[in-house]
Amino acid sequence: TDEFMCQSWGGSDDDLMYEIGMELSSIDRRRIVIKCPVTAAGTRAAARLVRSGVRVCLTACYNKNQALVAAGCGAEYIAPYLGRMTDVGRDGLSECRSMQSIVTGMGSSTRILVASIRKVDDMSTLASSGCDTFTF
């Protein structure tokens, strides 16, 4: 496989999350992507991991403004949870389209990894907006 994503952990302890991310990625830094939540601690750990040459995906994203955070810290991916946003009455499609516009507008290489997809039509809609990375 070209890449494999692993979730780091550590709650509010960004040092622990960083250390675990470093350990998990040490197997193959070219192929392993470390997932960190878009929390204060997760973002601090992610930024340190990126500076250490680790590929990072910020997860549990529910707001377009978090795309700014991901692009700013150099994350390779940000993973908005489309289905979960929709479940709570938010316009998940609009949030994901806005995230794509934000990273494109910033000239960032951060990719929107749309997660929690429940309808193929949603993939088509998002693909037409430039999103090209999906998981179910």
Interior/surface letters 17-51, b for 16+ CB within 10 angstroms, e for the rest: bbebbbebbeeeeeebbbbbbbbebbbbbbbbbbe
3-state secondary structure (DSSP) of residue 3: coil
Query: How crowded is residue 117: how many other Cβ atoms within 10 Å of its Cβ?
Result: 18
Strand partners, 7: 35
- The residues carrying an active-site annotation are 35
